[in-house]
Amino acid sequence: MTEPANTGALKGLRVVEMGQLLAGPFCGQLLGDMGADVIKIEPPGTGDPMREWGQGDEKVQWEVIARNKRSVTCNLRVPEGQEIARQLIASADVLIENFKPGTLEKWNLSPDKLHSINPGLIIARMSGYGQTGPYSTRAGFGGIGEAMGGWRYIVGEPDRPPARMGISIGDTLCATYGTMGVLAALHHREKTGEGQVIDTALYESVLQVMEGLVPEYDYNGFIRERSGSILPGIAPSNVYSCKDGPFMIGANKDAIFARLAEAMGRPELAEDPRYRTHLARGENQTELDELINAWTGTLTIDEVDALMIEHSIPAGRVYTAKDMLEDPHFKAREAIVEVETEGHGKLKMQNAFPRFSKSQSGIRRPAPVTPGQHNAEVFGEILGWDQEDLAEKKKSGLI
């Protein structure tokens, strides 16, 4: 397959990815989508466990998170393998890792040692609790970060135990903040020539999106609780039931609520003291939601959608993947694209994001099918290995 031209903003940047599962690899995906050359180091034989993740009979999640990457294998548990990794990292701009803190140090790949051979190296470290503090050496997964960061406690119905989202949001938040850190560190390096370490913790990444949760307790003694499908005091903003399914309406601003009342054929609601202001609607949120739900229940989704558009009210259908693939707006903006993968043929997946007016990101190469698929290419290009070198290293179990 011919690789599309790389127009990404990070073209020319070399990234070595040493993470597994989700946080590190998603950071690598984001940087790769923006044009970086991402070299993923996988364990010989087994590869990244993400290769076996996903839903359905055929596991295809790997095709998304490993796109725009070249895979090499290297046994990092032995000194000879660590030396191979060190040589690759010596030529890199960025190193991504999401191992348990202390692992790089155990492998003689500590930041100090890596900076002694590559002073401009940016090292993005992702872990459960960060590189310092009393919990730093504990094992951590995204779900634990979601719990300790405050997310899990407030998600779900009030009369049930904490729930979760259907995706690994803790990991992807950590990776996104790690990516932000890399981009900021690149700017710093451009001005000073200095590399640095970015310390990103799962729980702190979740904490960052917790809005006013901490100061609300600190100042008011208020602890947010689970509230189901609503934000307490923000009304109306909920998923309502139509004749043929759910529909989301957000009309919590005064002027927008007045337009919703008009669309419902109940303009007097906008002047009702119970609903006239933001605070009043919040205090009467339950009865207002019931009133709106009774109205939407008499109409189809198409009918409610048309009224929302006519009256300029923020609203939307509650989509599944099937709905996304059929939606004309998704198609017009190419939010989902078809990629010719090596492992599963033509496969639709989310496009690179965000959009750029002059250095557009994109999907240039499909995910590697096998661990070490690019050993010859990468080790030959960067380390100067020939076929004899490759055969020797493979025989010894180093790659």
Whether the CB-CB separation of 67 and 393 falls below 8 Å is answered with no
Given 33, 37, 48, 171, which residue is catalytic? 171
Amino acid (one-letter) located at 98: N
For the chain, what is the mean pLDDT? 96
| pLDDT tens-digit readout, 163-192 | 999 999 999 999 999 999 999 999 999 999
Tell me the C-alpha distance between 43 and 24, whole Å.
15
**Beta pairing class for 196-201 and 69-73:** unpaired
| pLDDT tens-digit readout, 113-124 | 999 999 999 999
112 is an active site residue: no
Q: What is the model's pLDDT at position 3? A: 81
The topology (CATH level 3) of 237-322 is formyl-coa transferase, domain 3 (3.30.1540)
Q: Is the pLDDT of residue 226 over 70?
A: yes
Looking at the chain, the whole-number percentage of residues with pLDDT higher than 90 is: 96
**Beta pairing class for 69-73 and 94-97:** unpaired
Tell me the C-alpha distance between 187 and 208, whole Å.
22
Query: Which CATH code for domain 14-209+352-395?
Result: 3.40.50.10540
Tell me the C-alpha distance between 84 and 75, whole Å.
9
User: Does the pTM of the predicted model rise above 0.75?
Assistant: yes
- What average pLDDT score do residues 274-278 get? 97
Q: What is the model's pLDDT at position 4? A: 87
Of 52-56, 67-71, 319-323, 373-377, which range is least confident? Answer: 52-56
- What average pLDDT score do residues 339-350 get? 95
Centre a 10 Å sphere on the Cβ of residue 332 and count the other Cβ atoms it contains: 8
Q: Is the pLDDT of residue 2 over 80?
A: no
How long, in residues, is the chain?
399
Q: What is the model's pLDDT at position 229? A: 94
| pLDDT tens-digit readout, 250-266 | 999 999 999 999 999 99
- What average pLDDT score do residues 124-153 get? 95
Q: What is the model's pLDDT at position 19? A: 87
- What average pLDDT score do residues 233-248 get? 97
DSSP 366: P
**What number of H helices and E strands is found in the chain?**
18, 11
Q: Is the pLDDT of residue 1 over 70?
A: no
Q: What is the model's pLDDT at position 285? A: 97
What are the domain boundaries of the chain?
14-209+352-395, 237-322
